[in-house]
Structure 1
Amino acid sequence: MADLSPSLSPATVAVAAGRPPHEPDQPLNVPISMASTFVAGGDREYGRYGNPTWSAFEDALGRLEGGRCLAYASGMAAVTTILDLVGHDATVVAPRHAYQGSIMSLADLEARGRIKAHLVDIEDTPAVVAACADAALVWLESPTNPALELADIETIAAAAHEAGAYVVVDNTFATPLLQQPIALGADIVVHSATKYLSGHSDVLLGAIVVAPDQAELYDVLLNRRSLTGSTPGTFETWLALRGMRTLHLRVERAQANAQALLPRLEKHPAVSEVRYPGFGAIVSIVVDGELAADLLVRTTTLWVHATSLGGVESTFERRRRWKTEAATIPEGLVRMSVGIEDVEDLWADLSTALDQVVAERPATGG
């Protein structure tokens, strides 16, 4: 790959990393390498062991996060690969509010007697620090999904390391442009690259980034990926790298849109609570219960009712429609992934739907 100065900004790295050397007749982009088998004598040999297109994506994301990256078939493939490394009967500390795939994987492992899961309020830093004492792995999200709580990553990571535990941070919501967990003490960063990194709702892909001082852990994960076959598709990886070229532009615009919507949402009579962590383009609002939330997501024409996030289009979802969502998440909470459309168009569509929610409220009498 092309050599890059370590002083480049993340926005520049997103555009420049993972490209061929600047030599005559080299393509600007690494081609899609559709190969299951390679000529013997090198490091690849076979399609489960590596691919030039994967290497380009891994170079770019690794540079952005400040570590060494491995691409996976999906975010869940990355999550389960990490959890599979936890020893028998060991404790994993994790947020009570988090991505449902991660929570369900922990519950499955616990039900089978493999691990002990200790779910915590991630904003209660002293309680999380105390829980680290018995942990083998501390799993963090910051912001959490969908409550948008923030973890004190640096303090928790220090406590976890003192107890001999590894620290994993799911950085899907923040992206490496807004938060770099390895610099705060994390050993591993995990991404659903399906979301912001790819950015166009057309890719299933995951990634793990390992801190530079965890070379042995990187080798273990690489060997596990090769053995289990949780490898990414070449075309999907190429699309994800292509999407990352505009990551900084998309995040900048989506975040600006989200922050422009905040004061309007806070003033609207249909909205009882607005949750926003201070950065990024995910906003959660709370309306008056399940029926109001369902009406909201059915009434818009521009906002799309969908379960994923991080695409160029604005999507939202009542999270408690999933039976596995935590009971502490309000029935009327709607998670909003703000896209890059014109913000006035977004508000016109959303405010019309919110007005309808108010109009449909049951009348109360004395």
Structure 2
Amino acid sequence: MKDWKPATLAAQAAGAQERETGGIVPGISVTSTYGRGPDYALLRPGNIYGRDENETVRQAEAVIRALEGAAATRLFPSGMAAIAAAFRTVPGGGRVVMQSGIYWGTVKWAREFCARRGITLDEVEASDLSLLSGALSQKADLVWIEVPSNPWLKLVNIEEAVTIAHAAGAVLAVDATAATPVLMRPLEMGADLVMHSATKGLNGHSDVVAGGLSVKDEGLPAWQAICSDRHDAGAILGPFEAWLLMRGMRTLPLRVERSSENALRLAQALENHDALEAVWYPGLATHPQHALAQRQMQGGYGCLVSILVKGGFEAAARVVSRLQVFHRATSLGGVESLVEHRHVIEPHTGIPENLLRLSVGIEDAGDLIADIEQALR
């Protein structure tokens, strides 16, 4: 199985089957506790209590672990729960260096958490390695980057960031939600941890909230702390959600391939549109980090496209109101295309008020392009 390509790993759920019946689709193990024999020995070693020991969750973790080329994976009840687990490894009085301009939910939580814990938090434009290096001229415990960033769609050179972070004694964690392991595998570039909001591309059907952390080396002290914290604090994913996630991942490579193709076609069609100030997409040759995207991402550049509408907030709002194929909703990575007017969500962060974030799905590309073009008239 270790030599299987991502398409095979995903389609066959990393070899998962129903053990007792031989069914090719595993069932859902919903038990909360496990039995013991007359001698009080466990009937199945390792299965004590459902809080951290569930076969369905383990199977979903195995799929992600295989796709990432990871040593281990742990699932959480949301992407933010996974992020919180990583940040909680930083001791009180420690230091975090975090990329600026990333998902606002991460930024808000990290600022508040670090303030409560007396942790120094430095936010830096990590896509500029000189700024990242300057921020890490002093010791740090954790470096958090997001590649590509949401919704600015900037990239960080992961291999270089690893070298800089490790020289400062820090663990380097990558939020790779927008790429998925189909397009980018940060652990192979030296990252210590990779995080996915599995709610997004991994599940891909907008019917699960989940998160995952994967590690390059299980001996990493931060990983041991993450596993212990999940077990003791109970930040677990339910078995039904894990089963839905695993079902969604069976089509992950196909979905990512199609949405990436659609996103590139859409970005190219809109790149020189008279009603737009700019189109941000790593797959465009005009993107300032296109060459880096070509090196770090394989098989496509993801589903996210950000467009800036001429005429400011009101003009962008009018475009959103006219869309007929794109759903007006928050999220990304699903089979359906979504549009989000980000300034409405985070008006205080400096996000351009005319920015529309498009999560491009698997619909007909021509329909998506026509929908945007009619809305821009």
**Fold shared per TM-score above 0.5:** yes
Unaligned runs of 5+ in 2: 37-41, 284-300
2:52 to 49, 54, 59: 49
Aligned letter for 2:113? L
2:5 maps to which residue? 9
2:29 to 19, 30, 33: 33
> In the alignment, does 2:120 pair up with 1:120?
no
Contact map agreement 1:141 1:170 (CA 8 A) in 2: yes
Q: 1:271 to 1:129 in 2, by over 3 A?
A: same
Q: 1:175 to 1:295 in 2, by over 3 A?
A: same
- 3-state SS of the aligned residue for 1:133? coil
- 3-state SS of the aligned residue for 1:34? coil
2:15 maps to which residue? 19
1:360 maps to which residue? none
Contact map agreement 1:20 1:27 (CA 8 A) in 2: no
> In the alignment, does 2:367 pair up with 1:345?
yes
Q: CA deviation at 1:7?
A: 2.1
Task: Give the Cα separation in 2 of the matches to 1:191 and 1:272.
Answer: 31
Counterparts of 1:55-94 in structure 2 under 5 Å? 55-67=58-70, 68-94=72-98
- 3-state SS of the aligned residue for 2:137? helix
Q: CA deviation at 1:217?
A: 3.7
Aligned letter for 1:313? E
1:359 maps to which residue? none
1:194 maps to which residue? 199
2:171 maps to which residue? 166
> What do you get for the CA RMSD once the two structures are aligned?
1.7
Task: Give the Cα separation in 2 of the matches to 1:217 and 1:274.
Answer: 39
Q: CA deviation at 1:185?
A: 1.0
2:147 to 142, 145, 152: 142
> In the alignment, does 2:325 pair up with 1:302?
yes
Q: CA deviation at 1:133?
A: 3.0
1:280 maps to which residue? 302
Task: Give the Cα separation in 1 of the matches to 2:33 and 2:348.
Answer: 43
Unaligned runs of 5+ in 1: 356-366
Structure 1 residues 249-293: Cα deviation after superposition (integer angstroms, max 9, x where no partner): 001111111111122211221111000112111100111211111
Contact map agreement 1:58 1:70 (CA 8 A) in 2: yes
Q: 1:179 to 1:216 in 2, by over 3 A?
A: same
Could you tell me the TM-score, scaled by structure 1's length? 0.92
> In the alignment, does 2:213 pair up with 1:208?
yes
> In the alignment, does 2:358 pair up with 1:336?
yes
- 3-state SS of the aligned residue for 1:57? helix
- 3-state SS of the aligned residue for 1:55? helix
Task: Give the Cα separation in 2 of the matches to 1:217 and 1:136.
Answer: 10
1:219 maps to which residue? 224
Q: CA deviation at 1:325?
A: 5.6
Task: Give the Cα separation in 1 of the matches to 2:25 and 2:136.
Answer: 44
